[in-house]
Structure 1
Amino acid sequence: MSKPDHSIDPRIRESAKKEFLAYGFEKASLKAICENAKITTGALYKRYKGKEDLFCSVVADTVADLNGVVEQRCAVDVNDLSDDALMKAWDMDEEAMLWWFQFLYARRDNFVLLIKCADGTEYSNFQHDWVEKMTVKSYEYFCEAQKRGLTYVNVSMEEMHILLSAFWTTIYEPFIHHYAWEQMEAHCKLVCDLFNWQRVLGFGLPT
Structure 2
Amino acid sequence: MPKDKSENHARIIPAARAEFLKKGFEKASMRSIAAAVGLTSAALYRHFADKEEMFAALVEPALKAFAEKAEAIKQRDYALLDNGNLDVMWGDDADLPLFLDVIYAHFDAFKLLVCCAEGTRYGHFVHDFVMMEQQETEDYLAEARRHGIPVKDILPQELHLLLSAYASAIFEVVVHDFTQEDAAHYLKTLQTFFYPGWRAVLGL
Amino acid of the residue matched to residue 123 of structure 2? S
Following superposition, the deviation at residue 4 of structure 1 comes to 7.6
Following superposition, the deviation at residue 139 of structure 1 comes to 1.9
Aligned to 2:39: 39
Structure 1: which 5+ runs fail to align?
none
The more displaced of 141-150 and 190-199 is 141-150
Aligned to 1:143: 142
Call closer, same or farther: CA 1:60–1:182 in 2, change over 3 Å.
same
- Determine if contact 1:70/1:133 at 8 Å carries over to the other structure: no
Q: Distance in 2 between matches of 1:105 and 1:199?
A: 30
Call closer, same or farther: CA 1:158–1:4 in 2, change over 3 Å.
farther
Higher relative contact order, chain-length normalized (CA < 8 Å, sep 6+)? 1
Aligned to 2:126: 127
- Determine if contact 1:94/1:192 at 8 Å carries over to the other structure: no
Following superposition, the deviation at residue 199 of structure 1 comes to 1.5
Structure 2: which 5+ runs fail to align?
none
Pair 1:198-2:199 in alignment = yes
The superposition leaves residues 94-125 of structure 1 with CA deviations (integer Å, 9 ceiling, x where unpaired) of 33332221221111100110111100011011
TM norm structure 2: 0.86
Q: Distance in 2 between matches of 1:50 and 1:116?
A: 20
Following superposition, the deviation at residue 60 of structure 1 comes to 1.8
The superposition leaves residues 30-78 of structure 1 with CA deviations (integer Å, 9 ceiling, x where unpaired) of 1111111222111111111111111111112112212223344455794
Q: Distance in 2 between matches of 1:107 and 1:79?
A: 28
**Which of 93, 96, 103 is 1:95 aligned to?**
93
Percent identity reads 31
- Determine if contact 2:150/2:203 at 8 Å carries over to the other structure: yes
SS of corresponding position for 1:104: helix
Number of residues of Structure 1 aligned to a counterpart in Structure 2: 200
TM norm structure 1: 0.85
Amino acid of the residue matched to residue 200 of structure 2? R
Mapping for residues 1-207 of structure 1, pairs under 5 Å: 5-74=5-74, 78=78, 81-82=81-82, 84-85=84-85, 87-88=86-87, 90-91=89-90, 93-96=91-94, 97-151=96-150, 153-195=152-194, 196=196, 197-203=198-204
CA RMSD of aligned residues (A): 2.4
Q: Distance in 2 between matches of 1:70 and 1:141?
A: 14
Following superposition, the deviation at residue 152 of structure 1 comes to 5.0
Call closer, same or farther: CA 1:59–1:152 in 2, change over 3 Å.
closer
Higher helix share: 2
SS of corresponding position for 2:93: helix
